[in-house]
């Protein structure tokens, strides 16, 4: 893993979108910082508080010697929070992960291996290898997720069995190209991210990642799946009107 520190550019920017995460943001940041402090490369961590109504920003601010905290004025959606963080970041590689760390932070090593082999965009997937899901969702949530993915593949993207795992990354150049064009503020933002990357001809790699379901998730299976599919239709319509050109 080579990195010219003289450029004063972090090797990694880690973006954590957070909405009403006061109960776990401190534990998450301790886990992340404990891991990153042991690495040889340079890094930065950005918490993007998505207009939380609780003490998320205040509790994240305890770590401001090592963590940048940026707050959106109102709750805009996970897509808006991730887009804000990715574009504010300065790292060579920019990775976003969920505030519950459903994908353990050590999976960054797989991400870097893909980047070092030339990937522009790296997609963490729970469905590439058997056994990647260490703690499952209830059966009905998994079924809804599978059906939702089939609809996405029929409508917009083919070849991605898991577009919704919250562990993805881009090079700095790919970040600017993708997120400057992105419009979706909700849960379909990463579907749009992959779609734009494909349209630009960027190299996309899928990697298997470990994943644990967190029972405290705020995702509502039926409601948010419907919202996501509506956003997929918006993505398709918008980018037909405004073609993506490199």
Does 140 score more than 90 pLDDT? no
Whole-angstrom Cα Rg for the chain: 17
Location of structure tokens 């997609």: 123
Give the helix, strand, coil percentages of the chain, each rounded to 5: 40, 20, 40
Location of structure tokens 């990647």: 132
Q: How far apart are CA 80 and CA 174, in angstroms?
A: 17
Residue 34: burial class (beta carbons within 10 Å; 0-12, 13-18, 19+): exposed
Q: 157 or 96: whose pLDDT is higher?
A: 96
pLDDT tens readout for residues 72-122: 999 999 999 999 999 999 999 999 999 999 999 999 999 999 999 999 999
Domains of the chain: residue spans and CATH: 8-241 (3.90.550.10)
pLDDT tens readout for residues 215-234: 655 555 567 677 777 888 88
Report the DSSP beta bridge partners of residue 48.
Answer: 17, 70
b/e map of 210-243 (b: 16 or more CB within 10 Å)? bbebbeeeebebeebbeebbebbeebeeebeeee
- 6 falls in which pLDDT band (50, 70, 90)? very low
Task: Specify the pLDDT at position 139.
Answer: 47
Q: How many CB atoms lie within 10 A of CB 59?
A: 22
217 in Cβ contact with 138 (< 8 Å): no
Report the DSSP beta bridge partners of residue 122.
Answer: 169, 205
Task: Specify the pLDDT at position 24.
Answer: 95
Residue % of the chain over a pLDDT of 90: 63
Q: In what helix (H) or strand (E) does residue 69 lie, and over which residues does it extend?
A: strand 67-71
pLDDT tens readout for residues 30-53: 999 999 999 999 999 999 999 999
Q: How far apart are CA 111 and CA 119, in angstroms?
A: 9
Q: How far apart are CA 119 and CA 94, in angstroms?
A: 12
Task: Specify the pLDDT at position 243.
Answer: 74
Task: Specify the pLDDT at position 236.
Answer: 81
């Amino acid at each position: 893993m080579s990195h010219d520190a003289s450029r004063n550019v972090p090797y990694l920017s880690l973006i954590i979108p957070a909405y009403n995460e006061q109960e776990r943001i401190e534990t998450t940041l301790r886990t992340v910082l404990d891991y990153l402090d042991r690495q040889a490369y340079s890094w930065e961590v950005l918490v993007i508080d998505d207009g939380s109504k609780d003490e998320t920003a205040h509790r994240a601010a305890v770590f401001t010697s090592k963590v940048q905290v940026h707050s959106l004025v109102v709750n805009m959606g996970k897509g808006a929070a991730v887009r804000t963080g990715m574009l504010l970041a300065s790292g060579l590689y920019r990775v976003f992960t969920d505030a519950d760390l459903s994908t353990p932070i050590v999976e960054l090593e797989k991400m870097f291996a893909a980047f070092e082999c030339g990937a522009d965009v790296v997609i963490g997937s729970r469905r590439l290898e058997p056994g990647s899901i260490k703690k499952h969702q209830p059966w009905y949530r998994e079924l809804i997720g599978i059906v939702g993915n089939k609809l996405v593949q029929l409508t917009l993207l083919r070849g991605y069995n898991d577009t919704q795992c919250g562990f993805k990354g881009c090079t700095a150049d790919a970040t600017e190209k993708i997120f400057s064009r992105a419009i979706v503020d909700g849960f379909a933002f990463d579907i749009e991210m992959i779609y734009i990357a494909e349209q630009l001809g960027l190299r996309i790699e899928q990697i298997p990642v470990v994943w644990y379901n967190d029972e405290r998730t705020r995702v509502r299976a039926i409601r948010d799946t419907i919202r996501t599919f509506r956003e997929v239709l918006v993505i398709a319509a918008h980018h037909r009107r405004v073609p993506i050109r490199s």
